[in-house]
């Protein structure tokens, strides 16, 4: 209504102005020519005045509307938190938002007075990228997005994401460039730290297994080129398990941190040190090192491990056992050297010795491995692998949201062999795809029984890389779901990062097919695998399962909590839900709840359990009790 009123006023103003200008001259000219005033002859001048008035009114209205739109654009752009600007092709800035000052330290007026200041704010190393993006925009007239560093007035470097697009006239000609620049420094810091954690152990901040194996393989290649030998030392603490059992994992973690600090300070600069896992450490000596060098290093490391530790008013003496493998005599690749050094360490521990070098006589361990391989083949073939279920719960309430199906292998004496032992063995045997297919099948059948009993619950199953990459994976999975009498939306699928990146195109296609059918897909053990985050945006995932290493580190300080917050923020930005793994303390649960993490699993809530015990657990919890309306549930 107001818009129409302004338009009518503009027309009236134009007509009035035209009449005031034309009427006097028309009357005077008429009297001069005719000699007398005759009003009927003024119709044509009046009509001309009205037409000109309408044209003038249109011009006034368009000018006023254009000014109003410009003021509206400036008001909106000024209010935005991002630094935006409009720049003519000759370099002159037509508009700069006030947000530029919070990002760069320069005022909008300073940039308007000196347009070259924008270019000078770009980090010198990123200046070519800046120029290339602008040149591409001018040539293609297509929007450009680039990430680079800007320098503030104080010289501070900040990461920004720069969006630039063309401003075209009615004929399609490029007249200016519009741009928005967003500060992404915190996001870059989070990503950098997460990448660092892919190669470093979050507890001790030493290189992790992945980093060790990669660098050890590089050392093998260098030593082979030089024709040199070198040593690999495998260290295992002697009494660490008793510390964890008697005083808890928090005390054990603090001892590992202190030990790592001592080892780092006591090792030579040319020795690669890393945490292999648990209370195991690996040391790679430089090319040219001999057995005597290895013995001397191991002796020094033993002295460090034997030094007493004081923690929470308690005094601990640990000690350690060491195994040594020499390249090339005891192995020609990283895997063989670590395996044989581990075997030598095992023999040293059994013999109550401090250090042992690998020898061919240590064939007993290989024989035992063959024995376990045979038993595992039989267990998989005869379907003796049992399925246990661990609840995935709502962090705030403890309500059960789903259960994860986990493989368990019961031994003749009734004990269970650790999955950390038989899962890698199944991978080495090439039977892992049969094992996880068997677990999934049993889990689906059990879920069908629960559905018929009225339990409203979902099941999450794992898929190994070998099984997931099979061409008929989706078909077989759908068949198993249908045969169990359940539907795809009842199922979640967990995949590791390494599984996903083996075949990105194939993974993308399979994940799309699964999600289209209603199956949610989760990234398992996020943060311990591939160091790039690119797959998160290129693969359509639903759930991110944060590795237990991040969770256990939260209680150690703000820096570690910031990583968890960063992962949660990253997931929210990508519209993914998060499940925190390995939650073992109430303090961890409270921190996750405060950060907005909605789901978790871990010993704090429940250990993995057989189906019958899970039913009792569900009834006791009341969160997924039988639905008396009958079978089914979403």
Which DSSP string corresponds to 320-376?
A: EEEEEEEETTT-SSHHHHHHHHHHHHHHHHHTT-SEEE--TTTTHHHHHHHHHHHHH
- For residue 440, give the H/E element and its range: helix 432-452
- Confidence (pLDDT) at 40: 53
- Confidence (pLDDT) at 168: 85
Q: How many CB atoms lie within 10 A of CB 299?
A: 12
Q: What is the band of 44 on the pLDDT scale with cuts at 50, 70, 90?
A: low
Phi and psi at residue 176, in whole multiples of 5°?
A: -160, 175
Give mean pLDDT, residues 523-535. 68
Q: Judge whether 537 and 575 are in contact, CB under 8 Å.
A: no
Q: Taking phi first (over 0 means left), then psi (-120 to 50 degrees means alpha), and beta for anything else, what does residue 143 get?
A: beta
∠ CA 562-197-346 to the nearest 5 degrees?
A: 130
**Nearest residue to 230 via CA among 303, 282, 164:** 282
Who's near 290: CB < 8 A, 6+ residues apart?
Answer: 229, 231
What DSSP character marks residue 184? Answer: -
The first and second tokens of residue 498, run together, are: 């390494």
Q: Judge whether 235 and 301 are in contact, CB under 8 Å.
A: yes
Q: How many CB atoms lie within 10 A of CB 110?
A: 15
- Confidence (pLDDT) at 626: 43
Integer CA distances (angstroms), 133 to 101, 136, 144, in order = 23, 5, 6
The least confident of 188-197, 289-298, 431-440, 508-517 is 188-197
- Confidence (pLDDT) at 605: 94
The first and second tokens of residue 214, run together, are: 């990669």
Distance CA 69, CA 3 (A): 12
The least confident of 122-131, 339-348, 616-625 is 616-625
Residue 334 burial by Cβ neighbours in a 10 Å radius (0-12, 13-18, 19+): buried
Phi and psi at residue 563, in whole multiples of 5°?
A: -65, -45
Distance CA 105, CA 66 (A): 32
* pLDDT per position as a tens digit, 231-261: 999 999 987 877 776 677 888 888 899 999 9
What percentage of the chain exceeds 70 in pLDDT?
Answer: 82
Who's near 155: CB < 8 A, 6+ residues apart?
Answer: none
Give mean pLDDT, residues 227-233. 94
Q: Is the pLDDT of residue 391 over 80?
A: yes
The least confident of 62-76, 166-180, 212-226, 479-493 is 62-76
The first and second tokens of residue 599, run together, are: 């789901």
Provide Rg for the chain, Cα atoms.
36
Average pLDDT, the chain: 83
- Confidence (pLDDT) at 596: 93
Q: How many CB atoms lie within 10 A of CB 180?
A: 18
- Confidence (pLDDT) at 621: 78
* pLDDT per position as a tens digit, 450-480: 999 888 899 999 998 888 988 899 999 999 9
Who's near 7: CB < 8 A, 6+ residues apart?
Answer: 61
Q: What is the band of 630 on the pLDDT scale with cuts at 50, 70, 90?
A: very low
Integer CA distances (angstroms), 431 to 328, 381, 418, 465, 469, in order = 31, 10, 17, 12, 14
Instruction: Strands of 252-292 (E only): list them.
Output: 272-277, 280-284
**Nearest residue to 157 via CA among 133, 128, 124:** 124
Taken in order 353, 358, 361, 363, the sign of the CA dihedral is: positive
- Confidence (pLDDT) at 388: 96
Higher pLDDT, 229 or 312: 229
Q: Judge whether 597 and 395 are in contact, CB under 8 Å.
A: yes
* pLDDT per position as a tens digit, 66-80: 565 554 445 444 444
DSSP codes joined into one string, 460-496 = EEE--HHHHTSTTHHHHHHHHHHHTT--GGGEEEEEE
Phi and psi at residue 173, in whole multiples of 5°?
A: -85, 140
Distance CA 48, CA 21 (A): 11
Q: Is the pLDDT of residue 11 over 90?
A: no
DSSP codes joined into one string, 71-113 = HHHHHHHHHSSSEEEEEETTS-EEEE-TTHHHHHS--HHHHHH
- Confidence (pLDDT) at 628: 34
Give mean pLDDT, residues 485-514. 87
What DSSP character marks residue 602? Answer: S
Distance CA 56, CA 52 (A): 6
Q: Judge whether 238 and 321 are in contact, CB under 8 Å.
A: yes
Tell whether pTM > 0.75. no
């Amino acid at each position: 209504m107001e818009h129409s009123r302004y338009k009518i006023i503009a027309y009236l103003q134009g007509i009035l102005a035209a009449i005031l200008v034309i009427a006097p001259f028309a009357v005077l000219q008429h009297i001069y020519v005719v000699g007398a005033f005759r009003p009927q002859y003024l119709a044509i001048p009046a009509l001309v005045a009205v037409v000109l008035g309408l044209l003038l009114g249109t011009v006034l209205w368009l000018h006023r509307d254009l000014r109003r739109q410009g003021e509206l654009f400036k008001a909106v752009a000024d209010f935005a938190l991002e630094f935006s600007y409009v720049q003519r092709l000759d370099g002159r800035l037509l508009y700069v938002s006030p947000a530029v000052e919070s990002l760069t330290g320069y005022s909008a007026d300073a940039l308007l007075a000196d347009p070259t200041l924008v270019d000078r704010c770009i980090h010198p190393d990123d200046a070519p990228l800046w120029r290339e993006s602008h040149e591409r925009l001018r040539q293609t007239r297509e929007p450009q997005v680039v990430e680079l560093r800007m320098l503030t007035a104080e010289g501070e470097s900040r990461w920004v994401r720069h969006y630039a697009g063309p401003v075209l006239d009615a004929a399609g000609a490029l007249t200016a460039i519009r741009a928005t620049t967003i500060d992404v420094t915190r996001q870059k810091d989070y990503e950098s730290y997460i990448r660092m954690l892919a190669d470093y152990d979050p507890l001790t901040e030493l290189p992790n297994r992945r980093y060790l194996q990669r660098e050890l393989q590089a050392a093998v290649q260098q030593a082979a080129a030089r024709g040199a030998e070198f040593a690999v030392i495998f260290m295992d603490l002697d009494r660490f398990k008793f510390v964890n059992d008697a005083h808890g994992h928090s005390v054990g973690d603090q001892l590992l941190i202190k030990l790592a600090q001592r080892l780092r300070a006591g090792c030579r600069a040319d020795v690669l040190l890393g945490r292999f896992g648990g209370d195991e450490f690996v040391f790679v000596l430089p090319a040219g090192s001999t057995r005597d060098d290895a013995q001397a290093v191991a002796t020094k490391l033993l002295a460090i491990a034997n030094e007493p530790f004081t923690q929470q008013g308690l005094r601990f003496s640990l000690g350690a056992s060491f195994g040594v493998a020499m390249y090339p005599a005891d192995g020609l690749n990283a895997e063989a050297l670590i395996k044989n050094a581990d075997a030598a360490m095992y023999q040293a521990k059994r013999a109550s010795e401090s250090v042992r070098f690998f020898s061919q006589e240590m064939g007993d361990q290989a024989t035992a491995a063959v024995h376990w391989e045979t038993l595992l083949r039989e267990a998989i073939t005869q379907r003796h692998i049992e399925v246990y279920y661990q609840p995935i719960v709502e962090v705030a309430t403890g309500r059960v949201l789903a259960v994860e199906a986990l493989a368990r292998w019961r031994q003749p004496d009734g004990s269970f062999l650790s999955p950390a032992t038989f899962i890698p063995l199944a991978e080495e045997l090439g039977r892992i795809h049969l094992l996880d297919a068997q677990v999934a099948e049993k889990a689906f059948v059990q879920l069908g029984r629960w559905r018929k009993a009225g339990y409203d619950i979902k099941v999450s199953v794992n898929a190994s890389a070998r099984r997931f990459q099979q061409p008929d994976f989706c078909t077989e999975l759908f068949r198993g779901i249908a045969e169990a009498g359940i539907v795809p939306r009842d199922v979640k699928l967990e995949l590791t990062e390494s599984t996903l990146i083996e075949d990105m195109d194939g993974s993308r296609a399979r994940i799309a097919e699964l999600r289209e059918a209603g199956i949610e897909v989760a990234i398992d053990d996020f943060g311990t695998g591939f160091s790039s985050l690119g797959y998160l945006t290129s693969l359509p995932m639903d759930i991110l399962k944060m590795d237990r290493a991040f969770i256990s580190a939260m209680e150690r300080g703000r820096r570690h909590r910031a990583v968890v917050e960063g992962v949660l923020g990253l997931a929210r930005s990508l519209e993914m839900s998060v499940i925190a793994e390995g939650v073992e303390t109430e303090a961890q649960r409270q921190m996750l709840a405060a950060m907005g993490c909605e789901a978790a699993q871990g010993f704090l809530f429940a250990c993995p359990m057989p189906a019958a015990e899970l039913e009792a657990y569900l009834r006791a919890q009341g969160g997924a009790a039988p639905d008396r309306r009958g079978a089914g549930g979403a």
